Structure 1
Amino acid sequence: MNATAQALVLPFITQVTRAVSLSENVKVLGGIPFAEDGTYLEWLSILGFTIGCYYVIYTFYALCFHPLRKYPGPWHLAVSNIPNRWSTISGNSSYWLYDLHEKYGPIVRVAPNEISYSDPQAWQDIYGPQPNQRLGMPKDPKFFSSFEDKKTAASIITSQPKDYMRMRHIYSYGFSKQVMLAKEEMIQGIIDRAMEALRQTKQQPQDIVQIFRATDFSIVTEIVFGKAYHIFDRPTYQPWFKSLMGWIRSTAVITATTDYPLGKLAAWLLTPRSVLKQRNVYLKYVNGEIEERIGESNAGRKDVVQLMFETTDQPKLAESDIRANLPFMVIAASETTTTLMSGMIAHLLNSPDALSQLTAEVRGRFRSPSDITIATVNNLPFLNACVNEALRVYPAAPTQLPRVVPGEGATVCNRWVPGGTKVYVAPYATFRSAENFYQPDAFLPQRWLPENGESFDVDKKNAWRPFGLGAHECPGQVITNLITRLIMCKLLLSFDLELCADSQDWLSRQPVWIVWDKPELLIKARPAAA
């Protein structure tokens, strides 16, 4: 609580404590003051009155004297962060922020000490390099520490600038195009196995989300651990990749409770038991694989773990650093790719013209699946436009990533923000704002083409930052973009797709726990005519 508010409220508490201690008619039993007649209602009333005064005074302070008092937003959010945190716990945060920005504008006070932005300039002001902050504003330590299951070492999520750049160098190379080219045969084999699995369905409804997830997970774990898990053929590992959302959702709840006393207990109570069970399954599998891989540190594999051991950067990463980073890395690299592809195919199946145009482009460029390679998939303009538009209307990472304004304060969107304030860009609200994009709720890939027409001249393309900005820009975006293009090209070359009736409303109000909690997306895949 702010020092000014404390100065107003603490005298009330002091007076009550003093009254209790001086009273000759009070006995203390078990630390609770009782009157001689055995009741404690009088003192309970005083305590209740004191607490009531505390909140009345704090509310008055938050609305009338707080440094953020002039920022727009509903009054109840200025006095409590509970609505904000509950929106995260309930999976409604992205929509909640969108509604607030639609009503109050591009800058909104969403908690007593928290501001959300949908103004494109905020990307640079918050996350971009600053004169005294090369990596942008500092991360909110409470929020980001929620992603770590072990506090014995810092991960790339919570590390300080020096360690962060050292870790980022490893991850950027481990998920680079160069590494993917070296592993292309393996990647193509996994994708071809996924296409074969679809072909074997004989046009029966299939959940394409799970097919995408199994494919992405197989590729990412091969790149990270150097080991082929063959998810399609080995049921042993299927509980692992199916438990990803359990870890993600439970982590989202933890991020919402870190501000409170007994926050971990609150997170445990507020998370469904089935979700906690999934979290434990995920951690059991991933930690087991980490220990096995660390035990083979001299195996000579060309994977991300080997890069961690062989890095020439000093100081070298300790085994504890590796253990702290890998659980999140596997999810971040695989689930964002699954999200992008699921959202893209859902929008295409609901946009027949766009699907027809993309299918024609793919089949006009490639004659057989073997023609589809890492070197050839980037030269399809409409495919690139569809990927960009999918990332706009269905961002792979729709959750806001809070930063803390440095102690000296900073200017964000031409307004002064005092030090210690939490600030962030709300991606979903930003990408869906009519202030930033023409027909923001429509899936219109043509907006990303050079010959897009005058209607799209109003688009503020600098509002579109699907992988973040600056030094903290997602190091896994290369693998996400390449895998998405490879799979989409092979899928549309090999099959004619149909959306099943049960999935017609798939895009409506999905919960968001860091990423979209994607339900079944049922499709029928009919082999394309030769």
Structure 2
Amino acid sequence: MAPQLDVVGMHIPPLYVLIPGAIAVSTILYVSFYMIYNVYFHPLASYPGPKSHAATRLTYVVYQLTGQLPYRCHQLHTTYGDVVRIAPDELSFSNPNAWKDIYGHRQGHAPMPKDPAFYTRPDSGVDSIITANRADHSRGRRLISHAFSDKALREQQPLIKGYIDLLIQRLHEHASNGPLDMVAWYNWTTFDLIGDLAFGESFGCLETCTYNPWISMIFAGIKAGVFLSAVRRYGMAWMMAVLIPKKLLKSRKDNTNLTTEKVMKRLEQGTSRPDFMSHILRHNDEKGMKVPEIISNATVLIIAGSETTATLLSGATYHLLKNPRVMEKLQREIRGAFKEEKDIDMAGVNGLEYILAVLDEAMRMYPPVPTGLPRCVPGDGDVIHDRWVPGGTAVSVGNWCTYRSEANFKEPNSFIPERFLDDPRFASDNKQALQPFSVGARNCIGRNLAYVEMRLILARVLWNFDLELATISDNWADQKIFTVWQKQPLYVKLTPVVRGSE
């Protein structure tokens, strides 16, 4: 039995009671002082924002893990203005000037590196161009960029057209079966296409009308990255096994294994095909990519060349269906420009003005990456949007909150493509606020391919079919966000157009 002390009639509990109590009190005091310091004495204390976000990052993490963070940031910007403190050491900006300050190149200013707590390194430990340092990123991007050049895309036009042909064929075959999930059909098309461009073989989605398991693993891996980011913020990687669903971690590992298998199979074919790997291998001199680097970048290529496109097409289709005036105007442009379907090619769709405005407006209303992508302020600090920000602060421009800001766009919650066609009603719009592919040396490398695919696919679908939104998908855009959208099925009734009836 533990000894008990009795000092002048005072009963003192045993140590096994005192020690846990002392630890609990110390913890409460530490956390209290920590939160008080963050709110009132931290270098960011002068920045606007709610005390619940300034005191602890836990508030941020809760919104992050429930898929509500971009919505919350928009609420905060609406209340507090174009710069908000969203965590003890993090600021969110919605002013367009912050794009260049954070992500671009400024003479005399050090570049702002990516926030290591947000970005997840590949499981192999070998960086992709997403997580690489500045020098390795430049080297890797130089090699990969050849595959996304205008010249390369023109060479790949027959391959791209072939998959869109198959999409249209499948839609005609299934249109009479009732509403179709256009999210699935767009995903199947873009993933099949990028699989062929990256690995020399399709994923077979359009052939089987099902998702390839590898694609599901990619989506699960993105969601796992959100959980990993939340855990890393607290320096407790050991909590991964407890907090992160085992299914997500397994999908992430399986994705790495399958990627390795596909890359090794493709490398055996050399440079005989006009695809991404051929461009990488042809320019693979002494500063080229080693095989582990190619493997790490393979998933980046898949996402850059497919997810952005499929997401934007889904969002564009939904907003077109919710805005009949816009849909009818776009149909007239497409069907008036092409008398025969075979004429719908890269050169043809590049000449269409309204379809580009529709896609730009869709990117504003439904940006493929709604979340802010944080960078770290280097050194002692730097100026962002005319305000001094201390070194070590995480900073970002959130697409969702920036595009839905009344300070940047008139009627920000309305789908009006004319704002991108010099309509005088929207002369006050700040078009520079729209940067869905980011800015600077590390912007999205798949931009050119995304625009080609989006214009061709949307033009072909609307040339062939009249679309009607199923009631079950009326609120489709109400989705959770885990860096990218957690898209739900978008059910649409397709009716083949009878030529000569227009």
Q: TM-score, normalised by structure 1?
A: 0.88
Q: 1:155 aligns with which of 110, 120, 128?
A: 128
The equivalent position to 2:436 in structure 1, one of 443, 466, 469, is: 466
Shift of the alpha carbon at 1:133?
5.0
Determine the structure 2 residue equivalent to 1:137. Answer: 112
Moved more, 228-237 or 296-305: 228-237
- Paired AA for residue 308 in structure 2: T
Query: Which residue pairs with 2:7 in the alignment?
Result: none
CA contact (8 A) 1:239 1:281 kept: no
Within a 5 Å distance, the mapping from 1:410-421 to structure 2 comes to 410-421=382-393
- The letter for the 2-side match of 1:143 is F
Q: Distance in 2 between matches of 1:367 and 1:236?
A: 33
Cα separation, 1, equivalents of 2:344 and 2:470: 28
Matched, 1:65 2:35: no
Q: Which residue of 2 aligns with 1:261?
A: 235
Task: Describe the SS at the equivalent of 1:497.
Answer: strand
Distance 1:521 1:237 in 2: 16
The amino acid of 2:112's aligned partner reads: M
Verify the 8 A CA contact 2:47 2:84 in the aligned structure 1: yes
Identity, in percent, stands at 34
CA contact (8 A) 1:297 1:306 kept: no
* CA separation of 1:274 and 1:446: change in aligned 2, threshold 3 A: same
Query: Structure 1 stretches of 5 or more lacking a match?
Result: 1-23, 27-35
Distance apart, 1:255 and its partner CA: 1.8
Shift of 1:282: 3.7
How far did residue 91 of structure 1 move? 1.0
1:486 aligns with 2:460: no
What's 1:96 paired with? 72
What's the CA shift for 1:422? 0.6
Report if aligned partners of 2:437, 2:447 keep a CA contact under 8 Å in 1.
yes
Matched, 1:335 2:307: yes
1:217 to 188, 191, 202: 191
Determine whether 1:288 maps to 2:261.
Answer: yes
**TM-aligned CA distance change 1:299 to 1:25, over 3 Å:** farther
CA RMSD of aligned residues (A): 2.2
Distance 2:117 2:216 in 1: 28
Match of 2:179 among 205, 219, 230: 205
The aligned amino acid for 2:473 is S
> Which residue number in structure 1 is paired with residue 9 of structure 2?
none
Distance 1:141-1:91 versus aligned 2 partners, 3 A rule: same
Structure 2 Cα separation of the partners of residues 287 and 488 of structure 1: 33
Shift of 1:289: 0.9
* Equivalent residue number for residue 523 of structure 1: 492
Q: 1:403, 1:314 → 2: CA distance? A: 31
2:426 maps to 456
The answer to whether 1:194 aligns with 2:167 is: yes
CA distance in 2, matches of 1:319, 1:250: 25
C-alpha distance in structure 1 between counterparts of 2:54 and 2:64, whole Å: 17
2:437–2:443: 8 Å Cα contact kept in structure 1? yes
Cα distance, 1:237 vs. partner? 6.8
Q: What does 1:116-515 correspond to in 2, within 5 Å?
A: 116-132=92-108, 136-144=111-119, 146-151=120-125, 153-203=126-176, 204-234=178-208, 238-263=212-237, 265-276=238-249, 278-294=251-267, 296=268, 298=270, 300-312=272-284, 314-450=286-422, 452-453=423-424, 455-508=425-478, 510-515=479-484
Distance in 2 of aligned mates of 1:298 and 1:172:
18
What SS class does the counterpart of residue 143 from structure 1 fall into? coil
After the TM superposition, which of the residue ranges 350-359 and 300-309 deviates more from structure 2? 300-309
| 2:78 is the alignment partner of 1:108 | no
Q: Output the amino acid matched with 2:219.
A: M
Per the alignment, residue 61 of structure 2 pairs with 85
CA 138–221 in structure 1, closer or farther in 2 if over 3 Å, else same: same
- Contact 1:114/1:422 (8 A) holds in 2: yes
Compared with structure 1, are the counterparts of its residues 400 and 179 closer, same or farther at alpha carbon in structure 2 (3 Å cutoff)? same
CA drift of 1:373 comes to: 0.6
Matched, 1:42 2:12: no
How far did 1:301 drift?
Answer: 2.6
Amino acid at match of 2:323: S
CA positional deviation for 1:142 = 2.5
| Cα drift, residue 287 of structure 1 | 2.9
Letter paired with 1:291: M
**Superposed CA offset, 1:80-102 (max 9, x none):** 11111222211111111111111
Quick one: distance in 1 between partners of 2:251 and 2:308? 19
What amino acid maps onto 2:196 in structure 1? Answer: E
Paired residues, number? 491
Deviations 1:314-352 (A, max 9, x none): 422111111111123212321111100000000000000
- Give distance in 1, aligned partners of 2:383 and 2:438: 19
Any stretches of 5+ residues in structure 2 without a counterpart? 5-11
Q: Give the Å deviation of 1:268.
A: 4.3
Task: With the length of structure 2 as denominator, give the TM-score of the two structures.
Answer: 0.93
Partner SS state of residue 142, structure 1: coil
Distance 2:160 2:269 in 1: 23
